[in-house]
Amino acid sequence: IVGAMDTPRLRALIAYLALHRHAPQTRHYLAFLFWPDSSEAQALTNLRKQLLYLRNAWPDAERFIDISRQTIRWRAIDEFRFDVAQFEAALSQAEATTDEQTIHLLRRAISLYRGDLLPECYDDWIFPIRETLRAQYRRGLERLVQLLEEHRDYTMAVDYAQQLLRHDPLHEPTYRQLMRLYALNSDRAMALRIYHTCVTHL
């Protein structure tokens, strides 16, 4: 849905409502948040225009978004699937399961993370959410690699450790972990190559 919207501002507004779906947002707060340098009247006008654009671009928008004169809120309906919510739910479930199920849930969570949240958005409100998701993704990957190593599934552990390294190419512990995994998998040549890559990057 978000990707189909015409403008970055409209995409950001929809994303904000979805991310804050557990509580209604007042029009005045949204207007101030998205147009902080405008007068109150102009900011509210800008918000009304965005809502008009939303209705034009997405005819059944009000099935998902409750728009009243005072507040706007994302509706809690079963048809709605939100990758951020699914990502966080899988990580949360992984915290309370046994190893085998944990691996499955962590792999699912990792597959749902497609990179930074709305990378084209530079609004102040999105940065802490974006960084929280990045940190959750990193911790999920680290735990998954650890569990796979404990299960001696070194090949898959290497794959996810490489993914972790792409996420943060300057994270020295990941290089050490990769070297150990390659060594455990009897691949000394790759362990040495990872060492030289680490030296080059750091």
Does position 46 have pLDDT exceeding 70, yes or no?
yes
Does position 57 have pLDDT exceeding 80, yes or no?
yes
Report the pLDDT value the prediction gives residue 59, as an integer from 0 to 100: 85
Name 65's bridge partners: 74
Does position 169 have pLDDT exceeding 80, yes or no?
yes
Report the range of poorest mean pLDDT among 27-31, 60-64, 189-193. 60-64
Report the pLDDT value the prediction gives residue 51, as an integer from 0 to 100: 94
Global pTM reads 0.86
Q: What's the average model confidence in pLDDT over 154-176?
A: 94
Report the pLDDT value the prediction gives residue 76, as an integer from 0 to 100: 75
Q: What's the average model confidence in pLDDT over 83-87?
A: 92
Does position 105 have pLDDT exceeding 60, yes or no?
yes
Local structure of 71: helix, strand or coil: strand
pLDDT 10s digits, 111-138: 999 999 999 999 999 999 999 999 999 9
What is the distance of C-alpha 151 from the center of its chain?
A: 28
% pLDDT > 70, the chain: 96
* Tokens representing residue 71 in the block: 């507040």
* pLDDT band at residue 7 using 50, 70 and 90 as cut-offs: confident
Beta-strand runs (E) in 22-139: 25-26, 65-67, 71-74
Q: Do 151 and 99 touch, CB atoms closer than 8 A?
A: yes
- Residues whose CB falls within 8 Å of the CB of residue 160, separated by 6 or more in sequence, listed in order: 110, 141, 144, 145, 148
Does position 1 have pLDDT exceeding 80, yes or no?
no
